[in-house]
C-alpha cells in the first residue's frame, strides 16, 4: 500500500533478534519509512529523541533501564506529541490493551504481524495522534470561549447596574465634598480633632468617588481613544502616579524594558489605569516590602500558540507580533481555590483593608476593548505574575513622545 507520508521511526527494543525483525520489515517498503533509528534502552531512546523529530516510536515496555507502563509514561511525559505503538511479547494482549489507556496509540504482538500489518499500524497510529491533538485543541478553544462568554455576561450585568447607580451617587458625593471643604474653612472653633475629623471625611468621600468612577468606567469604555503609543512611556506615566506608595510600603521597582519596543494602539490613560491596578495589587501583596518587577518585550507568536495557551485563538493568530508586559511580585500569591474568581467584579480578599474587588475586572474590560489579553498566575517560586498582551500596531504613522528614531532602527 502507498502512504501519503513516509515516517520517521524509532525502534526501542532490547532483544536483538526482535529489533532486527522490526528493522527489516520497516526497510522492506523503503518509501514508507524516511528515517529509522534504534535503541536498546529508554535512556538511549530519549537521547535519540532529543536529536531527531520522530513521528512514531515502536516501544518494548521491558527494557534494561525501565519496566512496564513506567516506560511508556516516562516517554510520553517528555514527548507528549510523539505517537507510540507498543511491541508486546506473545500472549500479552491484555497488557497491550492496558497501554492504550496510558497513552499508546496501538499495540502489536510479537510474531503476529508482517511488514504490511506493521506499516499499516504505524500510519494509522500517527493519524490517530494527529486527530487526538486536534480534538484536544478544539476542546481547549471551546472551554476558553465558554469562560469568556460567562465572564462577559457577568460584566454586562454588573456594568449596566453599576453605571446606573454610579451616576446617581456621584452628584450627592460632589455636594458632600464641597460642603466638607467649605465647613472646614468656615469653622471658627478649630482644634486638632476637628481638623482630623474633617480630613477623614474628605478622604472617605474621595474614596467613594474613586469607586464610583471605576464603576462608570464599565459603561464608558466604548469611548476609548486609541493612539499609537510606546508602552515604555505608558509604564513611566503609571509609575509616576503610584510612586508615593512605593516608599510608604518599602517597595523597590525593577524595570526590564526591551529597547525599541514596537508601538501599540492604546488609550494611554486606560492602560495606565490597568498598570496601576496591577502594581497596587503587587504592593498590597507584600506588606513587608519587596521588589515589583516590570518587564516589557516583544515577540512573534509561534505556529501553534502552544507557548501561550491562555491566548484566545479566535483573537490571536500564529505569526502575530505582540508586546508582552508583566508585573511580578514576591508576595503571598493567590490561593488556588480563589484564582478562578479574581476577575469577578467585587471579588476581593482585602475587604477590610480598602479593597473593592474592581481592579482586575475593570482591567480585563479595558484589555478586551483593546483586543488584548490579561492573565494572572502564581509563580513557581512564590508571588504572582500578571501578564498583559498587546497586538503590535501595523498602522503607518509616527509615535508620539519622540520615539520614532528608536523604532526606525528596528
Ligand atoms: N499580586 C497579587 N497577589 C496576591 N493576590 C492578588 C494579587 N492580585 C490580585 N490578587 C487577588 O485578587 C483579588 C482581586 O483583585 P482586584 O485588584 O480585582 O481587587 P482588590 O485589589 O481586592 O480591590 P481593588 O478594587 O481596590 O483593586 C484581590 O483581592 C486578591 O485576593
Ligand atoms: Mg486591586
In a domain? residue 140: no
Q: 285 is written with which cell numbers?
A: 501583596
H helices within 187-332, ranges in order? 192-220, 231-248, 268-284
Contact 48, 75 (CB under 8 A): no
**Whose alpha carbon is nearest atom 1 of ligand 1?**
282
In a domain? residue 116: yes
Q: 93 is written with which cell numbers?
A: 494482549
Q: Are residues 273 and 310 in the same domain?
A: yes
Query: Distance between CA atoms of 266 and 277, rounded to whole angstroms?
Result: 17
- 249 CA → ligand 2 middle, Å: 15
- 349 CA → ligand 1 middle, Å: 7
Query: Distance between CA atoms of 390 and 368, rounded to whole angstroms?
Result: 10
Q: Are residues 260 and 340 in the same domain?
A: yes
Q: Are residues 273 and 378 in the same domain?
A: yes
Task: Give the sign of the dihedral formed by CA 29, CA 30, CA 31, CA 37.
Answer: positive
Counting from 1 in the atom list of ligand 1, the atom nearest the Cα of 354 is 26
Q: Are residues 189 and 312 in the same domain?
A: no
Query: Which of 221, 256, 279 is the C-terminal boundary of a domain?
Result: 221
Check which CATH number belongs to the domain holding 196 and give it. 1.10.287
Number of domains composing the chain = 3
Residue range(s) defining the domain that contains residue 163: 151-221
Q: Are residues 237 and 109 in the same domain?
A: no
Contact 292, 245 (CB under 8 A): no
In a domain? residue 334: yes
Query: Which of 104, 134, 164 is the C-terminal boundary of a domain?
Result: 134
Q: Are residues 38 and 70 in the same domain?
A: yes
Q: Are residues 175 and 116 in the same domain?
A: no
DSSP labels, 270-296: HHHHHHHHHHHHHHHT-TT-EEEEEEE
What pLDDT was estimated at residue 223?
A: 66
In a domain? residue 146: no
Q: 322 is written with which cell numbers?
A: 505582540
In a domain? residue 142: no
Query: Distance between CA atoms of 207 and 197, rounded to whole angstroms?
Result: 15
Q: Are residues 288 and 402 in the same domain?
A: yes
What pLDDT was estimated at residue 171?
A: 82
In a domain? residue 1: no
Query: Which of 221, 236, 255 is the C-terminal boundary of a domain?
Result: 221
φ/ψ (deg, to 5) at 85: -115, 130
Closest ligand to 364 CA?
A: 1
Q: Are residues 251 and 379 in the same domain?
A: yes
In a domain? residue 143: no
**Whose alpha carbon is nearest atom 12 of ligand 1?**
342
Q: 99 is written with which cell numbers?
A: 497501554
Neighbouring CB atoms inside 10 A of 153's CB total 10
What pLDDT was estimated at residue 218?
A: 57
- 280 CA → ligand 2 middle, Å: 6
Buried b (16+ CB within 10 A) or exposed e, 78-103: ebeebbbbbbbeeebeebbebbeebb
Which residue in this structure is represented by grid cell 501599540?
Answer: 264
Q: Are residues 174 and 91 in the same domain?
A: no
In a domain? residue 339: yes
Task: Give the sign of the dihedral formed by CA 89, CA 92, CA 95, CA 100.
Answer: positive
Check which CATH number belongs to the domain holding 95 and give it. 3.40.50.2300
Q: Are residues 71 and 86 in the same domain?
A: yes
pTM assigned to the model? 0.60
**Whose alpha carbon is nearest atom 29 of ligand 1?**
348
- 186 CA → ligand 1 middle, Å: 40
Q: Are residues 113 and 156 in the same domain?
A: no
- 287 CA → ligand 1 middle, Å: 13
Counting from 1 in the atom list of ligand 1, the atom nearest the Cα of 355 is 23
Q: Where does ligand 1 bind, in terms of residues with CB under 6 Å?
A: 277, 281-282, 285, 329, 331-334, 342, 347-350, 355-361, 384
Contact 401, 261 (CB under 8 A): no
Give per-10-residue mean pLDDT for the chain (410 aa): 82 95 86 90 96 95 91 92 88 75 88 90 93 86 77 69 76 86 77 81 86 69 80 93 88 94 92 93 95 95 73 79 96 94 89 84 88 94 95 65 34
Check which CATH number belongs to the domain holding 231 and give it. 3.30.565.10
Which residue in this structure is represented by grid cell 531527531?
Answer: 52
What pLDDT was estimated at residue 402?
A: 37
Query: Distance between CA atoms of 386 and 377, rounded to whole angstroms?
Result: 6
Contact 324, 386 (CB under 8 A): no
Q: 177 is written with which cell numbers?
A: 465634598
Amino acid at each position: 500500500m502507498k502512504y501519503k507520508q513516509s515516517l520517521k521511526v524509532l525502534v526501542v527494543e532490547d532483544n536483538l533478534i526482535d529489533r532486527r525483525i522490526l528493522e527489516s520489515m520497516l526497510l522492506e517498503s523503503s518509501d514508507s519509512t524516511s528515517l529509522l533509528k534504534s535503541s536498546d534502552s529508554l535512556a538511549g531512546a530519549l537521547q535519540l529523541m532529543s536529536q531527531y523529530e520522530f513521528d512514531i516510536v515502536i516501544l518494548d515496555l521491558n527494557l534494561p533501564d525501565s519496566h512496564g507502563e513506567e516506560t511508556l509514561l516516562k516517554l510520553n511525559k517528555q514527548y507528549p506529541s510523539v505517537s507510540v505503538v507498543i511491541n508486546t511479547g506473545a500472549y500479552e494482549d491484555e497488557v497491550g490493551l492496558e497501554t492504550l489507556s496510558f497513552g499508546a496509540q496501538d499495540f502489536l504482538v510479537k510474531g503476529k504481524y508482517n511488514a504490511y500489518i506493521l506499516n499499516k499500524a504505524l500510519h494509522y497510529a500517527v493519524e490517530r495522534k494527529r486527530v487526538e491533538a486536534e480534538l484536544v485543541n478544539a476542546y481547549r478553544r471551546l472551554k476558553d470561549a465558554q469562560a469568556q462568554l460567562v465572564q462577559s455576561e457577568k460584566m454586562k450585568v454588573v456594568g449596566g447596574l453599576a453605571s446606573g447607580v454610579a451616576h446617581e451617587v456621584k452628584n450627592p458625593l460632589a455636594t458632600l465634598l464641597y460642603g466638607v471643604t467649605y465647613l472646614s474653612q468656615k469653622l471658627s472653633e478649630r482644634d486638632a480633632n476637628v481638623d482630623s475629623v474633617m480630613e477623614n471625611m474628605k478622604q472617605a468621600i474621595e474614596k467613594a468617588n474613586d469607586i464610583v468612577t471605576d464603576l462608570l468606567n464599565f459603561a464608558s469604555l466604548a469611548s476609548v481613544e486609541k493612539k499609537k503609543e510606546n508602552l515604555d512611556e505608558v509604564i513611566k506615566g503609571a509609575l509616576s502616579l503610584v510612586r508615593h506608595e512605593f516608599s510608604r510600603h518599602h517597595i523597590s521597582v525593577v524595570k526590564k524594558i526591551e529597547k525599541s519596543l514596537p508601538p501599540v494602539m492604546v488609550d494611554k490613560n486606560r492602560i495606565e489605569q490597568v498598570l496601576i491596578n496591577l502594581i497596587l495589587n503587587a504592593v498590597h501583596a507584600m506588606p513587608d516590602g519587596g521588589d515589583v518587577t516590570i518587564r516589557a518585550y516583544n515577540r512573534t507568536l509561534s505556529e501553534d500558540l502552544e507557548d501561550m495557551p491562555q491566548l484566545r485563538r479566535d483573537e490571536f493568530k500564529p505569526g502575530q507580533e505582540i508586546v508582552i508586559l508583566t508585573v511580578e511580585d514576591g508576595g503571598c500569591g493567590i490561593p488556588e481555590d480563589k484564582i478562578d474568581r479574581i476577575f469577578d467584579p467585587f471579588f476581593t480578599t482585602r475587604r477590610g483593608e480598602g479593597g473593592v474587588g474592581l481592579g482586575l475586572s475593570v482591567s480585563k474590560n479595558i484589555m478586551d476593548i483593546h483586543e488584548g489579553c490579561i492573565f494572572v498566575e502564581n509563580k513557581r517560586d512564590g508571588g504572582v505574575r500578571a501578564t498583559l498582551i498587546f497586538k503590535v500596531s501595523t498602522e503607518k504613522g509616527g509615535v508620539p513622545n519622540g520615539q520614532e528614531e528608536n523604532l526606525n532602527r528596528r
